[in-house]
Amino acid sequence: MKVRQVLNSKAQNHLWHVKPDTSVLQALEIMADKNIGAILVLENGKLIGIFSERDYARKGILKGRASKDTLIRDVMTSPVITVDVEQKVEECMAIMSEKHIRHLPVTEADQLFGIISINDIVTAIINDQKSRIESLESYISGGY
């Protein structure tokens, strides 16, 4: 299974983003409103970073930074690890595990295409395995 299939199966694939001079508080408000765990950081239409709940905890709160006075550029993760729409889901899971990240922006022909989370990956793998099991059970029982 490829990343494109995962994105196509998502109910919503909106690319929520902020600018690097957005306050952490503003970004957190957007993230809470949209129920997302990470937000992309774009400058002049180009992906320059990603800001996650983990960034907030480790680079913001634990460092004693005030959310309303801290800019995203000061706490975002950059450079951003991305994957291509044609990459295999298993490769994405390995990247996420190895790099200890939960979100991967997706590109196609060097253009931002979407974002996937570890939840998207796990759901896709579970659904794929369920489908395979059902096919095998049908085959074994002679219902092919």
Return per-residue pLDDT of the chain as tens, 144 residues. 999 999 988 877 789 999 999 999 999 999 999 999 999 999 999 999 999 999 999 999 999 999 999 999 999 999 999 999 999 999 999 999 999 999 999 999 989 999 999 999 999 999 888 988 888 888 888 765
Q: State pTM to two decimals.
A: 0.87
Residue 14: the pLDDT is: 84
- Name all domains of the chain by residue range, CATH numbers in brackets: 3-140 (3.10.580.10)
Confidence at residue 13, expressed as pLDDT on a 0 to 100 scale: 73
The letter for the amino acid at 42 is L
